[in-house]
Amino acid sequence: MFNLHESPYLLDKTSTDEVVTRLTSIEQRVALLRQQGTLTDKTVRDYYGDKRFEQVAESNAIEGSTLNVGETQLAVMKGITVTGHDPAYVRDAIALDRALTRVVELARPGSASTDIEQLLEIHGLLLGDRPSAGSFRNERIRISGSDHSPPKTGEAVRSAMCDWERWSQENGELPAPIRAAVLHAWLTHVHPFLDGNGRTSRAISNLELIRGGYPPIIIKRTERDRYIEALSESDHGGDLRSFLDLVFDKIDGALTGLEHSAKKKQGYDPVVALVQKRKAQNLKVWETGVTLLASMIELRLGARLEPLKGRVRVKIFENLLDLETYDELCAGRGVSGGWSFIVTISIPGFPFFEKLAYVQHRSGAMYSRLGQEGGPSLYWSGKNPSGFPKWKPDFDRSPFAVELTSQLGRGDAWIVRDAANGFLELATTDVADRLCDALLTQATKV
């Protein structure tokens, strides 16, 4: 169906088959939406309009901006400094909004494949009047927090970007999600600009998607850790699997968002506003409970590993859920991604061991157990032997519990479901202890 010939990225046959399966599912969904009239050139552009300020706020937030969506809208529409924020963030919001508006114009159906001219125009709008706007760098740079070393000289940068452009022009028939992922990851790998590489790369992804008839995607500040980790994997050895998985997840989410946008009714309802406020409070309690559980696992598992000279690291994905995603989970609808925390165990003499705790809506059994109360639950994934996606749900191989949740507004007690659909109600310390025992058993099983 496609190949990544002459790009820096390689997929083995098994991973390619999995990518094709996932892509086919997305394309079938897109085809159905187009058939229903929900997904047209106009609705894609209308959806961008609905998400315009969120797109700007989230992309800038990944780079450190503190403006929320409402403040971003105020900055863009009024052009005024928002009290309590660095004035540079207002400037960045205005510039990125201008660049993304141009992206929509460039993405008209049937337009030419993305090239260096379009790239430099977008970057120039994004950086505004700064000296390096719209031009490649000529000096060496270092990427903060990464050991990846981009091309060191201006000549090497221009050569790499010519390869990037050539691949784009010679592979215009590839599906838009594949092009969006490859051009984005490749661009951040080269890091051709002194500033604005991430924002420009995310804009290029959406240029590809909108041109292909897809809604734009938003990589949120809550997903920054997963995003950076996936790009890091693509930098080292050309492993694009995790980044493709992220892009596919975001496309699924954007298609759902477009469906909701098409049905949305305008107007303020004070009853709905009160319900949303309570949901926000419940979400905060949930996040606090998950963070506490993950921290206790790291602490108690670390103590168990000391006699074995082993080590544990628990990477927590902070602020995983926003209110929109939480709403979806409470309504019993699936969401994309949902990474919560990763447990990594290394013990001398045993294979490296990792488990991912992720969030999805409650199972039917848990929903019934809690008196038909919807909400988020934690589940487990292990490394996928086939390679794509990176993580595969564990189900009956989950450590101790197949599903864990707490009732809305309660973060001090967990309801646990085992593989036989048996239930326990346990305090956080008890859940952490049982998970530690199960994780250690799995990590030392040869």
- Write the pLDDT tens digit of every residue in 410-444: 777 899 998 888 999 999 999 999 999 999 999 99
| pLDDT of residue 40 exceeding 90 | no
- Write the pLDDT tens digit of every residue in 206-246: 999 999 989 999 999 888 989 999 999 999 878 899 999 99
pLDDT band (50, 70, 90) for residue 322 = confident
Arithmetic mean of pLDDT, 49-76: 91
Q: Which two tokens stand for residue 255?
A: 């298609």
CA-closest candidate to residue 185, choices 144, 234, 251 = 234
Contacts of 291 (CB under 8 A, 6+ apart): 316, 318
Q: Are strands 391-393 and 353-361 parallel, antiparallel or unpaired?
A: unpaired
Residue type at position 295: S
Q: Which residue has the higher pLDDT, 4 or 353?
A: 353
CA-closest candidate to residue 345, choices 312, 300, 314, 304 = 312
pLDDT at 267: 41
- pTM of the predicted model as reported, rounded to 2 decimal places: 0.78
From the CB of residue 148, how many other CB atoms can be counted at a distance below 10 Å? 15
What is the distance between the alpha carbons of residues 230 and 242, in angstroms, rounded to a whole number? 5
pLDDT band (50, 70, 90) for residue 45 = confident
Arithmetic mean of pLDDT, 401-406: 95
| Mean model confidence pLDDT for the chain | 89
pLDDT at 42: 82
Contacts of 78 (CB under 8 A, 6+ apart): none
pLDDT at 396: 80
Q: Which two tokens stand for residue 300?
A: 């108690």
- Write the pLDDT tens digit of every residue in 331-375: 898 887 789 999 999 999 999 999 999 999 999 999 999 999 999
The answer to whether 204 touches 247, Cβ cutoff 8 Å, is: no
pLDDT at 258: 82
Q: Which two tokens stand for residue 401?
A: 């519990």
What is the distance between the alpha carbons of residues 83 and 321, in angstroms, rounded to a whole number? 27
pLDDT at 217: 94
Which helix (H) or strand (E) covers residue 388, if one does? none
pLDDT band (50, 70, 90) for residue 271 = low
As a dihedral over the C-alpha atoms of residue 109, residue 114, residue 115, residue 119, rounded to 10 degrees, the angle is 110
Q: Which residue has the higher pLDDT, 169 or 268?
A: 169
What is the distance between the alpha carbons of residues 326 and 349, in angstroms, rounded to a whole number? 41
Strand blocks (E) in 347-386: 353-361, 376-383
- Write the pLDDT tens digit of every residue in 197-213: 999 999 999 999 999 98
Quick one: what percent of the chain has pLDDT higher than 70?
Answer: 96
Arithmetic mean of pLDDT, 174-193: 96
Report the phi/psi class of residue 161: left, alpha or beta, with left for phi > 0 and alpha for psi in -120 to 50.
alpha
Q: Which residue has the higher pLDDT, 194 or 261?
A: 194
pLDDT band (50, 70, 90) for residue 55 = very high
Q: Which two tokens stand for residue 128?
A: 């505004």
User: Which of 61-65, 83-87, 199-203 has the lowest average pLDDT?
Assistant: 83-87
pLDDT band (50, 70, 90) for residue 319 = low
CA-closest candidate to residue 218, choices 97, 51, 92 = 51
What is the distance between the alpha carbons of residues 72 and 52, in angstroms, rounded to a whole number? 10
CA-closest candidate to residue 376, choices 397, 343, 407, 402 = 407
SS3 103: helix
Domains identified in the chain and CATH numbers: 13-263 (1.10.3290.10), 270-443 (no CATH)
Distance, first Cα to last Cα, the chain: 39
User: Which of 22-31, 71-80, 124-133, 182-191 has the lowest average pLDDT?
Assistant: 71-80
Q: Which residue has the higher pLDDT, 198 or 257?
A: 198
| pLDDT of residue 259 exceeding 70 | yes
The DSSP line for 257-284 is HHHHHHH---S--HHHHHHHHHHHHHHH
